[in-house]
């Protein structure tokens, strides 16, 4: 598959942007060892060849986009044999200068937890080693001062109690029910401090009702756009970086006055990840 051209799209009919961007600092990991050699999610098919060089090239478009927006981008060294380390979001969760480490579900990814915790410690964070299974910002998203916390596939409900104890914030537990959307950041995108986009069918009835109550003006994304990991996006409150093939989601965002940058991370999608999976926000 040929990489898509980077898209910066704002239709003439879109409302003028009055949104303010929030400065972001993020952690990324260059996919020098990316491949799909095992299957731990529905997206992964080891029988389909992957290209590390294509993954690196596509990852670099995301890195360059962040730098172009003025983000501070920090890097963790990739470790040979850890194919999925590029999905930095799973490495932990940071807030108020603290880092809650990851404790992975599958043995293939377990060594990533200590590697990310060592990076946090070396870079000034107060590190909290997890006792409960969790996959970091893959399942923990900060929204309007609260932490939206997924469970059901990769993160245990018990880890939500650890999260509350460490950060002293409200934690909103949300149960994921669709194996294709096994991390919260594949089913919810944080748009700004007050609003989100999400795929309703990814959640059980109680969680969906809670999201409807908290976010009555949320963007509901269709299944086609979610299936290209359109919701696995990241932004600064003004500009959203999204999967270039999530065309209806892009339209919804521009109609609400967001700027969008569409990118092709199709090679990394073969491992079950996209833009947000490659991005761990650092909140010092």
pLDDT digits (tens, 9 = 90+) for 45-84: 999 999 999 999 999 999 999 999 999 999 999 999 999 9
Q: What is residue 2's predicted lDDT score, i.e. its pLDDT?
A: 35
What's the rounded mean pLDDT across residues 127-150? 98
**Residue 185 falls within a domain, yes or no?**
yes
CATH number, domain with residue 171: 3.75.10.10
In this predicted structure, what is the pLDDT of residue 7? Answer: 38
11 domain-assigned: no
Using CA atoms, how far residue 172 sits from 142, 143, 145, 208, 212, in Å, is 10, 10, 11, 12, 13
**Residues contacting residue 54 through CB under 8 Å, at least 6 positions apart:** 3, 267
* pLDDT score recorded for residue 13: 38
Inside any domain, residue 140: yes
Write out 200-257 in H/E/C secondary structure: HHHECHHHHHHHHHHCCCCEECCHHHHCCCCCCCEECCCEEEEECCCHHHHHHHHHCC
**What would the pLDDT profile of 216-264 be if each residue is shown by its tens digit?**
999 999 999 999 999 999 999 999 999 999 999 999 999 999 999 999 9
Structural domain contains residue 3: no
pLDDT grade for 275, boundaries at 50, 70 and 90: very high
Mean pLDDT, the chain, rounded, equals 94
Please report whether residue 233 resides in a domain. yes
Whether 127 shows a pLDDT value over 50: the answer reads yes
Average pLDDT of 119-147? 98
Q: Is residue 234 part of a domain?
A: yes
Residue 5 has pLDDT above 80, yes or no: no
pLDDT at 231: 98
Number of domains comprising the chain: 1
Rounded Cα–Cα distance for residues 98 and 96 (Å): 5
Residue range 168-210, pLDDT digits in tens: 999 999 999 999 999 999 999 999 999 999 999 999 999 999 9
pLDDT attached to residue 106: 96
pLDDT tier, 93 (very low <50, low <70, confident <90, very high otherwise) = very high
Closest to 262 measured CA to CA, from 23, 27, 25, 5:
5
- What is this structure's pTM? 0.93
Distance of CA 181 to CAs 19, 97, 239, Å? 29, 29, 24
Structural domain of 156: 25-281
217 lies in a domain? yes
Q: Which positions are catalytic?
A: 183, 277
Asked whether residue 259 is assigned to any structural domain, the reply reads yes
């Amino acid at each position: 598959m040929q990489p898509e051209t980077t898209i910066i799209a704002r239709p003439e009919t879109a409302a003028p942007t009055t949104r303010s961007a929030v400065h972001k600092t993020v952690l990324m990991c260059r996919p020098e060892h990316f491949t799909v050699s095992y299957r731990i999610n529905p997206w992964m098919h080891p029988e389909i060849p992957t290209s590390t060089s294509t993954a690196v090239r596509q990852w670099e478009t995301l890195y360059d986009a962040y730098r172009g927006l003025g983000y501070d981008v920090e890097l963790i060294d990739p470790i040979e044999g850890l194919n999925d380390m590029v999905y930095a979001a799973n490495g932990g969760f940071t807030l108020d200068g603290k880092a809650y480490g990851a404790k992975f579900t599958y043995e293939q990814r377990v060594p990533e937890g200590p590697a990310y915790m060592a990076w946090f410690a070396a870079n000034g964070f107060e590190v909290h080693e997890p006792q409960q299974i969790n996959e970091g910002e893959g399942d923990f998203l900060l929204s309007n001062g609260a932490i939206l916390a997924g469970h059901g596939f990769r993160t245990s409900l018990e880890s939500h109690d650890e999260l509350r104890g460490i950060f002293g914030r409200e934690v909103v537990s949300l149960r994921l029910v669709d194996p294709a959307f096994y991390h919260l950041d594949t089913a919810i995108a944080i748009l700004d401090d007050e609003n989100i986009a999400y795929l309703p069918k990814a959640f059980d009835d109680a969680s969906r009702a809670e999201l409807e109550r908290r976010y009555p003006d949320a963007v509901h994304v269709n299944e086609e756009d979610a299936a290209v990991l359109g919701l696995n996006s990241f932004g600064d409150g003004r500009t959203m970086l999204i999967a270039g093939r999530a065309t209806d989601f892009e339209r919804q965002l521009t109609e609400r006055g967001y700027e969008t940058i569409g990118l092709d991370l199709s090679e990394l999608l073969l491992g079950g990840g996209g833009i947000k999976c490659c991005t761990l926000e650092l909140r010092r």
